[in-house]
Amino acid sequence: MKLDELDRAIIRMMQEDGRRSFAEVAKTLDESESTVRFRFKRLIEEGVIRNVVALVNPRAVGLNESAALFIRASALQLDQVLERLCSFKEVPHVYQFTGDYDAIAIIMGRDVEDLNAIVRRVKSIPGVKDVTMMLTLRVLKSDVKYAIA
């Protein structure tokens, strides 16, 4: 889907505050509410906007620890390993990479013991060769907004 400047403006505004009404967006952009509503619906249908969700502070809900798992997997089973990783509710992010590791998964847990239990589950996935965990000391930036030119 090719995005025009109105689509980009709607996305930028909704990234800042997804609770913003279509009427408010329309007024700010000097467009009709029906145009903004139609464009937003189309952006969802086309998969440009994946979802509209509440962004939760993990610490506020007891997820006090996080870590990055650097994972090596069998080339023949890599797709199955990645699929299984993506199914873990404690794993909000999975990235496939080139280089020394096949994937990096970010894990969230209540405490270090919780993280260790998750690591043991990851290691038990058929095709996983090696898992190195790096515990998070500080989160300096955690943002889900993208720079929309």
From first to last of the 149 residues of the chain, give the pLDDT tens digit. Answer: 899 999 999 999 999 999 999 999 999 999 999 999 999 999 999 999 999 888 899 999 999 999 999 999 999 999 999 999 999 999 999 999 999 999 999 999 999 999 999 999 999 999 999 999 999 999 998 888 888 87
Q: How far apart are CA 97 and CA 3, in angstroms?
A: 28
Which CATH class, in words, describes the domain spanning 58-135?
alpha beta
Per the CB < 8 A criterion, the answer to whether 66 and 34 are in contact is: no
* Burial (CB count within 10 angstroms: exposed 0-12, middle 13-18, buried 19+), residue 72: middle
**Hey, where are the domains in the chain?**
5-45, 58-135
Amino acid present at 77: Q
Nearest by Cα to 101 from 75, 78, 72, 128: 72
- CATH number attached to the domain at 5-45: 1.10.10.10
pLDDT of residue 106: 97
Are residues 103 and 85 in contact, defined by beta-carbon separation less than 8 angstroms? yes
Residue from 31, 57, 37, 43 nearest 7 by CA: 43
Quote the pLDDT of residue 145: 82
